[in-house]
Amino acid sequence: GQNIDQPTEMTATEGAIVQINCTYQTSGFNGLFWYQQHAGEAPTFLSYNVLDGLEEKGRFSSFLSRSKGYSYLLLKELQMKDSASYLCAVRDSNYQLIWGAGTKLIIKP
Amino acid sequence: IAGITQAPTSQILAAGRRMTLRCTQDMRHNAMYWYRQDLGLGLRLIHYSNTAGTTGKGEVPDGYSVSRANTDDFPLTLASAVPSQTSVYFCASSASAGAGNEQFFGPGTRLTVL
């Protein structure tokens, strides 16, 4: 079967750095996405990785290792508004997105 | 309108009733999707459409049907609602079904079936 694993919840301090991990087992691989979802709102796109390595976009970076079936999202200089769920999704061989259950990130002052 | 709109925002429905959730996008995207999101589970794909006039089944299609008569609209119908269909429903679209295309999401419909 297909499986995406992420930690259920993480807590971090304002101004700090946090790394959210995602491991996957899917039928084929055509890219990995990270989305942010604030409570009661729709998911919004953060990043896309299809090749191994690090993609940096401002305070957010995303890393991919296809051989390990592993990705992480790195958030720097945490702000209170970063409190949200972070969703990892893999596009499989049918070009459909398989979603993890999400990681709820709690930021404390 | 800009982006994707969904209607209604929320709905309480008696079991056995028929219900259509509406979704409209104005981005001229070819691909559209319906997901349900339940607590503790990832988004699960119900149905999708890669282009107007075509539809396909996702991971959890039973009890749901869709149509794609034009590019902009992608309604989801529950023929006879059951309590297990209580969920938050998100419509999404992407420029195409290709690999790198991000999906844009509507605001969601919160459906309760009693």
In this prediction, residue B1 carries a pLDDT of 54
Is the confidence at residue B112, as pLDDT, over 70? Answer: yes
B61 inside 8 A of chain A by CB: no
In this prediction, residue B42 carries a pLDDT of 87
Candidate from A33, A41, A100 with C-beta closest to B102: A33
A96 inside 8 A of chain B by CB: yes
| Pairs of residues, one from chain A and one from chain B, whose beta carbons lie less than 8 Å apart | 46
Q: What mean pLDDT do residues A19-46 have? A: 96
Report residue A55 as tokens: 């993609």
Q: What mean pLDDT do residues B74-87 have? A: 98
Residues 6+ apart with CB under 8 A from A56: none
The mean pLDDT value of chain B amounts to: 95
In this prediction, residue A62 carries a pLDDT of 98
Residues 6+ apart with CB under 8 A from A104: A8, A9, A10, A84, A85
Q: What mean pLDDT do residues A6-35 have? A: 96
Q: What mean pLDDT do residues B11-21 have? A: 97
Interface of A with B in 37-66 (CB under 8 A): 41-45, 48, 50
